[in-house]
Amino acid sequence: MTYVDLNPIRAKMAETPETSDFTSIQERIRPTFNLAEAIRGQVFDNPENIIVKPLLHFEGNVRNEEQKGIHFSLSDYLQLVDWTGRIVRNDKRGAIPFLTPPILTRLNIPIEQWLVDSQQLEKVVHRRFRSAA
C-alpha cells in the first residue's frame, strides 16, 4: 500500500503524498468518495459491473476481536508514507525533499487534533460502508 502511494513521488510526478493525484493516500487526506453516489452509479451507470467501494478503513491497534480494517491508525500510516518517501533510492527518480516539513505539519493539523479527527472520520466511513452492505 505504501509502495503504491509513493509511486507518483518515486516517478517524480509529485513532491509529496498530498499532491499526488489519483492515489488512495490523497483520498484519505481529502476524502471525496460518496458511497450513496457510488452505489447509484454502480446500479444505473455501470454497464461493465465494476464494483465501486470506499477504501478500507484504519482500525488502529490489533485487538482481541474480529477486525476487518487495516491494523494501523491513519496518522501512523501517513507518517510511515512520509518517512519512507524521504528515503533516496538510486533506482528511483524522486523522493520527498529532505527539508520538507513532516506531513502532519504540512497539512496544518496539530497531532492531537488529527488523532481525534481521524478516529471520527474512520468511524463515519466504516458506519456508512457497513450500512450499505
CA dist., res. 15 & res. 126, Å (int): 30
The mean predicted confidence, pLDDT, of the chain is 78
- Contact (CB, 8 A) for 117 and 109: yes
Q: What pTM was estimated for this model as a whole? A: 0.68
Residue 80: name the closest of 50, 109, 104 by CA: 104
For the stretch 84-104, pLDDT in tens is 999 999 999 999 999 999 998
Say which range, 11-15, 26-30, 42-46, 123-127, has the weakest mean pLDDT.
123-127
Which of the 8 DSSP states describes residue 42? H
Q: Where are the domains of the chain?
A: 2-57+66-132
- For residue 58, give the amino acid letter: F
Q: What is the pLDDT of residue 55?
A: 81
Structure confidence at residue 129 as a pLDDT band (50, 70, 90): very low
Q: What is the pLDDT of residue 41?
A: 58
Q: What is the pLDDT of residue 35?
A: 65
For the stretch 16-67, pLDDT in tens is 999 998 888 988 888 776 666 766 655 555 556 666 667 888 887 777 888 8
